[in-house]
Amino acid sequence: MIATLRTTLLLLLALSLPLQAAELRIAVASNFLITIEKLAEAFAYETGHRIKVSSGSTGKLYTQIRAGAPYDLFLAADGERPSLLEAEGRILPDSRKTYALGQLAFWSRKEGVEVRVDAIKSNPPRRLALANAKTAPYGRAAEQALDRLGLNELGSQRVRGENIGQTFQLVYSGAADLGLVAYSLAQAQQSGSTWLIPEENYEPIEQQMVIVKRTKQPELARQFQQWMLSKGRQIILDDGYLLEPIDG
Say how far apart CA 55 and CA 31 lie, in whole Å.
Answer: 9
**Residue 34 carries which side chain, given as an amino acid letter?**
I
pLDDT for the residue 18: 43
pLDDT for the residue 98: 97
pLDDT for the residue 157: 82
Decide whether 2-101+206-238 matches 104-196 in CATH topology. yes
Q: What are the residue boundaries of the structural domains of the chain, listed by start?
A: 2-101+206-238, 104-196
Report helix, strand or coil for 51: strand
pLDDT digits (tens, 9 = 90+) for 198-220: 999 999 999 999 999 999 999 99
pLDDT for the residue 247: 56
Buried b (16+ CB within 10 A) or exposed e, 215-241: bebeebbbbbbebbbeebeebbeebbb
Say how far apart CA 235 and CA 49 lie, in whole Å.
Answer: 18
pLDDT for the residue 112: 95
**2-101+206-238 CATH fold:** D-Maltodextrin-Binding Protein; domain 2 (3.40.190)
Ranges of the chain with pLDDT below 70: 1-21, 155-156, 246-248
Q: What is the CATH number of domain 104-196?
A: 3.40.190.10
pLDDT for the residue 13: 42
Q: How far is CA 88 from the centre of its chain?
A: 22
Q: Give the C-alpha distances (Å, rounded to integers) separating 139 from 91, 105, 204.
A: 26, 12, 13
Q: What pTM was computed for the model?
A: 0.86
